[in-house]
Amino acid sequence: MLELMSVYTSYGKIKMLENIDLVVNQGEVVCLLGSNGAGKSTTIKTIVGLLTPNSGQIHFEGQSLNSLKTFDIVRRGISIAPEGRRLFPRMTVEQNLLIGLDEEKSNCDQLKCWIFELFPALKNRLNQAAGTLSGGEQAMVSISRALMQEPKLLILDEPSFGLAPILVEAFYQTITEINRHGTTILLSEQNAGKALEVSCRGYVLQKGTIHASGSKEELLDNDLVRACYLG
């Protein structure tokens, strides 16, 4: 579904991503693991056109994304819940959910119902300013906003960052639920143990290159992953 081939991305003269090869197949949950500054967000921004790769190819459903703007990439079926949530704090939850949607979208109510099934806590919060929600609720709004676009591929950049452990558990169950519903997921995480629990495969980024990759079982058994990310 998504394929990155030999992707290189720089910040000005500073080389960040080197030779990234990554595949996400339809129906999978794939995790992108790595510590602070490894290049996870840079990879995600490159996929969705917020950064332009210096070289390499990015294909989605067999078509190149390289020359497309973010807006067009979202229209093709990729949505992200970005690092740090990026909500509009003074706008209500509902306004945050509807932002970026085509006005004529007819199944809005149906989508909202599904979101309330996934995140019941949001049901009574629709008219509340997003900035007044708890961290956990803001994380729910961020994922829900991405789901309102009905993406084929949902990209989550450290969705559980900063959440209490009990919430992280519930969050991961919801991510599995979203995948069961038919949405393919690429999940960036520092928390390798949690991410691998819900993933079929994963990639480990270190200093902008892919250091290891494989199935969940292979990564759980990998010495580097065990030493650096599983403690």
Ligand X SMILES: Nc1ncnc2c1ncn2[C@@H]1O[C@H](COP(=O)(O)OP(=O)(O)OP(=O)(O)O)[C@@H](O)[C@H]1O
Decide if residue 11 touches ligand X (CB under 6 A). yes
Tell me the closest approach of the beta carbon of residue 205 to ligand X, in angstroms.
Answer: 6
For 109, counting Cβ atoms within 10 Å of its Cβ (0-12 exposed, 13-18 middle, 19+ buried), the class is exposed
Q: How far is the CB of 38 from Mg ion (least distance, A)?
A: 8
Among 83, 94, 150, 197, binds ligand X (CB under 6 A): 83
Angstrom distances, CA of residue 11 to CA of 21, 50, 54, 202, 208: 19, 12, 10, 25, 12
Contact (CB, 8 A) for 196 and 31: yes
Q: What is the largest CA-CA distance in the chain?
A: 52
Q: Minimum distance from CB of 36 to ligand X (Å)? A: 4
Residue 41 or 96: the one with the smaller Cβ distance to Mg ion is 41
Nearer to ligand X, 93 or 195 (CB): 195
Residue 18 makes contact with ligand X by CB under 6 A: no
- Please give the Cα distance from 148 to 178 (Å, whole number): 12
What residue ranges bind Mg ion (CB under 5 A)? 40-41, 83
Q: What string marks each residue from 50 to 79 as x (binds ligand X by CB under 6 A) or -?
A: ------------------------------
Measure the CA–CA gap between 48 and 43, rounded to whole angstroms.
Answer: 9
Q: Which does 34 bind (CB under 5 to 8 A by kind): ligand X, Mg ion, none?
A: ligand X
Q: Kindly state the smallest distance separating residue 191's Cβ from Mg ion, in Å.
A: 13
The token pair that represents 159 in the structure block: 């969705």
Given CA atoms 174, 179, 182, 185 in this order, what sign does their dihedral have? Answer: positive
Binding flags for ligand X, 159-198, as an x/- string (CB under 6 A): -------------------------------x--------
Q: Check binding of 84 to ligand X (CB under 6 A).
A: no
Task: Count the site residues for ligand X by CB under 6 A.
Answer: 13
Q: Which does 206 bind (CB under 5 to 8 A by kind): Mg ion, ligand X, none?
A: none
Are 89 and 138 within 8 A, CB to CB? no
- Distance, CA of 55 to CA of 17 (rounded, Å): 10
Residues within window 29-48 making contact with ligand X, judged by CB under 6 A = 34, 36-42
Least CB distance from residue 158 to Mg ion, whole Å? 6
Question: Residue 30 is inside which H or E element, if any?
Answer: strand 29-33
Q: Is 81 in the site for ligand X (CB under 6 A)?
A: no
Contacts of 6 (CB under 8 A, 6+ apart): 19, 20, 21, 55, 56, 57
Query: Tokens 């038919």 correspond to what residue?
Result: 182
Where does this chain bind ligand X (CB under 6 A)? 11, 14, 16, 34, 36-42, 83, 190
